[in-house]
């Protein structure tokens, strides 16, 4: 029944479901039924016959089968049957999965390398290669050779490197260590404390763990009574210092130590150090053992072990919270930075304990200060050098700067236009500019350059129009009475011009516009009225240039008198 369930999930390409519903003690190398091949061989034949459909999910199923403990070199018993594409069942001889894939690949040579079936078989071979891993060639050694190296290991009088562990010191030969480990070679040959004093601090390991590491390094054996925690300490040292043959030997030793009580620590070390042979051994044990499966369901295993056994990481809230706290853990990061600064200080100032102790503090104090000064310097260069140079070339970076540039251009044109009439009135442009500045800061000045262009056919009258515009703008913040007064003046001007020109239609239109302006002023605000009044004054006066110069000058003088009277 268990084989039928696994077979069903293989048929629907569901790797997660296959592992979830497979019993803890399910044997992945046994046939799925009386005449059905083992899971790996069945999946290969089944998926190969279906072509390129769902190729990724197929490979995921095969990968999970291999990780669960299926051996691609294990031969199935003869007489098993497999059905390919609704044809008559094929009777299989005794063969392994890897032999089957190689034969199928040989039969697809005529299809070309790019054919989906051929590519699928090559991907399966790559997964099998990854699952088996490289095999280390073992050589037999004479017992006397082993005894010789044991004697060398025990010659403590010739040892010149001391390892300081949490509960004692262990010694060894520096040339043996440097030959075996590139990390220890760099450490012992450097100008750091380890290179000078020949003392290496490994306070996270015990004396037994260090002794086991050195015994395996020298002789590939030991006389110690081993416990799995001691093996894990030596395993960690071998991985940290990149001594591959010690790592391989201890990996095989740890495989034999996998039990319920040791499973979590061994499996976590296998995952964190990415040792695939040990991961496969742990996964095979964990998927079969009922107690481990119970712990898995209760989320009592470390996150790395749960991930190894196929539990979805997205559903593990506890692991997510732990990762958040790991990100907030600054202690290890600060410790490593402090150690690096101490090493640099020792190289620059050897035999100076004060500098070595003070260097980390100075680094942590000066680093943010220098960073702030650097940011300030960069900002100053941008503000006082880059931006002014860009403005000289007419480049503005913000909308406010562009509008300011337009206002400056308007004021230049306005000054050129108003200079002659203002001099005749005894005024200066600074007086008008001061009032315009107040309005500009209040948001009332909305003048465009096009209104200030001196037209050839307008002559002096356009200049007078500009004077009226400036005066009207300067009156806005005073009070509503002044605005009504200006409306009366404009009505009088327009009415007089309309009588002179005998254009009754214009008078009617202007009256309608004025009534509309008053309504808008009541409903909306002063700014819209001001703009409309300026536009109307421009239109009316430009149309009647030859006949209105005298009236305009009179109105202007009257307006200035009223303004002076009211403001004083």
pLDDT digits (tens, 9 = 90+) for 161-188: 999 999 899 999 999 999 999 989 888 8
pLDDT given for residue 162 in this prediction = 92
What integer pLDDT is reported at residue 490 of this predicted model?
61
CA 52 to chain centre: 35
Most confidently modeled of 3-17, 166-180, 395-409, 544-558?
Answer: 166-180
Q: Give the three-state DSSP class for 7.
A: helix
Assign 440 a pLDDT band (cuts: 50, 70, 90): very low
| Separation of CA 284 from chain center | 36
**Both tokens assigned to 291:** 């107690």
Q: How far apart are CA 68 and CA 53, in angstroms?
A: 24
Say what the pLDDT of residue 520 is.
63
Task: Note the pLDDT tens digit of each residue in 104-139.
Answer: 888 777 777 677 788 888 888 888 877 765 555 566
| Among candidate residues 231, 229, 236, the one with its CA nearest the CA of residue 261 | 229
Tell me how far CA of residue 23 lies from CA of 134, 206, 261, 305, 497, in angstroms. Answer: 30, 39, 21, 18, 105
Q: Copy the structure tokens of residue 82.
A: 């497999």
* Top-ranked range on mean pLDDT: pick from 431-435, 436-440, 450-454, 500-504: 431-435
Please report the pLDDT score of residue 564 as a whole number: 45
What pLDDT is attached to residue 56?
A: 80
369 exposure class (CB count in 10 Å sphere: 0-12, 13-18, 19+): exposed
Decide: 540 and 493 in contact? Cβ < 8 Å: yes
pLDDT of residue 370: 74
Residue 293 vs residues 284, 297, 298: alpha-carbon distances, Å? 12, 6, 9
Q: What is the pLDDT of residue 86?
A: 59
In tens, the pLDDT along 404-430 reads: 777 777 777 777 777 777 777 777 767
Quick count: other Cβ atoms within 10 Å of Cβ 103? 11
> What DSSP line would sit under 517-542, residue for residue?
HHHHHHHS-HHHHHHHHHHHHHHHHH
What domains are there in the chain, each with its CATH number? 2-132 (no CATH), 147-313 (3.30.710.10), 399-567 (no CATH)
Asked whether the CA dihedral 42, 44, 48, 50 is positive or negative, the reply is: positive
The DSSP-derived string for 426-437 is: T--HHHHHHHHH
Percent of the chain with pLDDT over 70: 66
pTM of the model: 0.40
Query: Which pLDDT tens digit goes with each residue over 220-270?
Result: 888 888 889 999 999 999 999 999 999 999 998 998 889 999 999 999 999
Phi and psi dihedrals of 177, rounded to 5?
-65, -45
The encoded tokens of residue 393 equal 């070339």
Check pLDDT > 70 for residue 502.
no
In sign, the C-alpha dihedral spanning 400, 401, 406, 411 is: positive
Give the residue from 213, 198, 235 showing the smallest Cα distance to 153.
213
- In angstroms, rounded to a whole number, what is the distance separating the alpha carbons of residues 487 and 468? 13
3-state secondary structure of 448: coil
Q: How many CB atoms lie within 10 A of CB 83?
A: 13
133: alpha, beta or left? (left if phi > 0; alpha if psi -120 to 50): left
């Amino acid at each position: 029944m268990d084989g039928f369930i696994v077979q069903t999930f293989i048929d629907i390409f569901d790797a997660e479901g296959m592992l979830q519903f497979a019993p803890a003690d399910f044997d992945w190398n046994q046939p799925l039924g009386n005449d059905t091949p083992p899971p790996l061989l069945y999946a290969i034949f089944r998926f190969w016959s279906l072509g390129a459909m769902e190729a990724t999910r197929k490979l995921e199923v095969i990968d999970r089968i291999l990780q669960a403990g299926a051996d691609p070199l294990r031969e199935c018993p003869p007489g098993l049957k497999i059905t390919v594409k609704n044809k008559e069942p094929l009777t299989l001889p005794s063969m392994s999965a890897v032999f089957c894939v190689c034969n199928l690949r040989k039969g697809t040579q005529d299809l070309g390398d790019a054919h989906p079936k051929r590519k699928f078989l090559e991907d399966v071979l790559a997964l099998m290669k990854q699952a088996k891993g490289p095999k280390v060639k073992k050589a037999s050694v004479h017992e006397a050779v082993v005894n010789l190296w044991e004697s060398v290991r025990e010659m403590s009088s010739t040892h010149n490197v001391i390892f300081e562990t949490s509960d004692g010191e262990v010694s060894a030969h520096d040339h043996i260590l440097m030959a075996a480990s590139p990390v220890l070679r760099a450490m012992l040959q450097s100008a750091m404390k380890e290179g000078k004093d020949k003392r290496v601090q490994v306070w996270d390991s015990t004396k037994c763990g260090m002794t086991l590491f050195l015994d395996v390094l020298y002789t590939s054996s030991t006389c110690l009574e081993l416990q799995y925690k001691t093996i894990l300490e030596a395993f960690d040292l071998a991985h940290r210092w990149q001594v591959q043959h010690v790592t391989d030997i201890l990996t095989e030793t740890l495989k034999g130590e996998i039990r319920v009580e040791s499973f979590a620590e061994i499996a976590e070390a296998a995952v964190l150090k990415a040792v695939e042979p040990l991961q496969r051994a742990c996964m095979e044990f964990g998927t079969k053992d009922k107690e481990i499966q119970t712990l898995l369901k209760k989320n009592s295993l470390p996150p790395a072990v749960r991930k190894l056994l196929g539990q979805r990481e997205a559903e593990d809230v506890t692991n997510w919270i732990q990762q958040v706290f790991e990100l907030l853990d600054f202690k290890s990061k600060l410790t490593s930075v402090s150690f690096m600064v101490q090493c640099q200080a020792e190289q620059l100032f050897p035999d100076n304990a004060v500098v070595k102790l003070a260097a980390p503090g100075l680094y942590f104090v000066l680093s943010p200060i220098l960073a702030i000064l650097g940011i300030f310097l960069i900002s100053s260069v941008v503000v006082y050098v880059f931006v002014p140079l860009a403005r000289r070339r007419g480049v503005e970076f913000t909308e406010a700067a562009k509008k300011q540039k337009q206002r400056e251009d308007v004021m230049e044109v306005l000054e050129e236009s108003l200079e002659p009439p203002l001099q005749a009135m005894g005024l200066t442009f600074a007086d008008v500019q001061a009032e315009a500045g107040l309005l500009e800061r209040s948001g009332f000045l909305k003048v465009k350059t096009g209104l200030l262009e001196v037209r050839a056919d307008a002559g002096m009258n356009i200049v007078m129009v500009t004077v009226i515009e400036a005066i009207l703008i300067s009156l806005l913040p005073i009070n509503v009475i002044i605005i009504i007064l200006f409306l009366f003046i404009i009505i009088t001007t327009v009415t007089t011009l309309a009588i002179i020109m005998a254009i009754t239609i214009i008078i009617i239109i202007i009256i309608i516009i004025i009534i509309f302006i008053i309504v808008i002023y009541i409903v909306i605000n002063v700014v819209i009225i001001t703009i409309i009044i300026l536009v109307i004054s421009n239109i009316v006066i430009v149309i009647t240039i030859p006949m209105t110069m005298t009236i305009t000058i009179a109105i202007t003088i009257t307006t200035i008198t009223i303004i002076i009277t009211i403001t004083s």
